[in-house]
Amino acid sequence: MFLMVYWWKDFTNKKTLIRVALIFPTLVFIAFIGSFAFKNTTNYFNSDKYLIEDQKIITVNSGMPLYYWKNKNYSGQFYSRGKAQVVKDEKELDSVLKLKKQLFLVTYKKNESEIPKELVAQLRLVQSTQKTSIYTTK
């Protein structure tokens, strides 16, 4: 700021500098407000809270069990109120799917390739974030 005041007399593109000084902060402010309006925050991508709340697993679909493929994280356990269970291997997932009950299956994108194709065919993708996906039975 002080350098600009010191060199103001020698600066030739004063109108350009004033326009940038007015437009740039306005655009940054609009982008900041827009990120909250569209839920594009890092918490949305890092937490299972939004997956669980969006599917109303706790309220409307409380009878549907929630399973995690291979491992579950703290937020999934917390927001499911301790009802989330872990499916550790293909046999266990196959036996759960053979029950022919409606259920939710949460997978991490890095582990999705480990699920056999014939078991994935029995599931329908409901919602996905940057790190996780949630499926339900067809």
Q: Rounded to a whole number, what is the largest CA-CA distance in the chain? A: 80
Using alpha carbons only, give the angle 131, 104, 107 rounded to the nearest 5 degrees.
25
Q: Which of 5-9, 11-15, 21-25, 32-36 has the highest mean pLDDT?
A: 21-25
Q: What residue spans define the domains of the chain?
A: 12-46, 47-137
Tens-place pLDDT, residues 32-85: 888 777 765 555 566 777 777 777 765 556 678 889 998 888 888 888 888 888
Within 13 Å, how many C-alpha atoms sit on residue 60's CB side? 5
CB 13 within 8 A of CB 39: no
Beta bridge partners of 106: 68, 134
Within 10 angstroms of residue 120's Cβ, the number of other Cβ atoms is: 16
Is it the case that residue 24 has pLDDT exceeding 90? yes
Per residue in 86-105, pLDDT tens? 999 989 988 888 888 888 88
